[in-house]
Amino acid sequence: IEGDIRDPRIVVHIGRTCALDAIVHLAARAGVRPSIRDPALYADVNLGGTSRILELVRQFGVRRFIFASSSSVYGERRKVPFREIDPVDHPVSPYAATKKGGELLCHAYHHLYQADVTCLRFFTVYGPRQRPEMAIHKFIRLISEGEPVPMYGDGTARRDFTYIDDIVDGILRALDRASGYAIFNLGNNRMISVAEAIDAIGAALGKTARIERLPAQPGDVSTTCADISHSERELGYRPHTPFEEGIRKAVAWYKDPD
């Protein structure tokens, strides 16, 4: 069924025509920089749309709900790795604020209606079929085509890049094992700088990247890194894809997407 999660008619239609054991809610407006350009749209989709899906949970008695949150809720912080019990009260972009708001909505519905609700904080997901504007896909395309690669800041910003297969594994484990209201980090527990990521992509492509240095962007954070000990203990989550291997797989898909 294709539709807009803000449309109550579609949401009710799903509830009436589908036998729902669980909902994995991945639909959102994503991206830090676009959220700064259009914060109202992000609030409308990520908060208003999530409210519609949570109403589906209430109206049709869905017992298990998985919400895709984001590492962006941690904001700008130097202390790593990030733990689920760390305070997340200072988002630095509208996108991050909507994901924190989504977690709060999830808790309210768990408290009121006793559904099992799990919030999964994804850390910089990449891999085959990634959206083309996201960094890894964009860098692969630009380096492959010999175009300059934009580097915002000095390239030392670090990210906990997580391969898509490991994220999917974490989602399935949460469906099987999580209960009550819970928050889990899904990351790789390894920091890679933007400069290192560009070098790894160039190596996988057998090309040297041409760098276009640009000022740091508002809303970007300097570091992300997931403490995954809680996810390991409760879900049995263990990422299996090293960054370099994930990049090789992403490049292979880019060259032959079929």
Supply the residues annotated as catalytic. Answer: 95
Spatial CA neighbour of 221 closest among 124, 100, 76: 76
CB-CB contact of 180 with 149 (8 Å): no
| Phi, psi values for residue 53, rounded to 5° | -70, -35
Q: Which residues are CB-neighbours of 71 under 8 A, at least 6 positions away?
A: 82, 121, 122, 123, 124, 160, 185, 187, 224, 226
Place of tokens 């904001």: 75
H helix or E strand, kind and range, residue 244: helix 243-255
DSSP 256: -
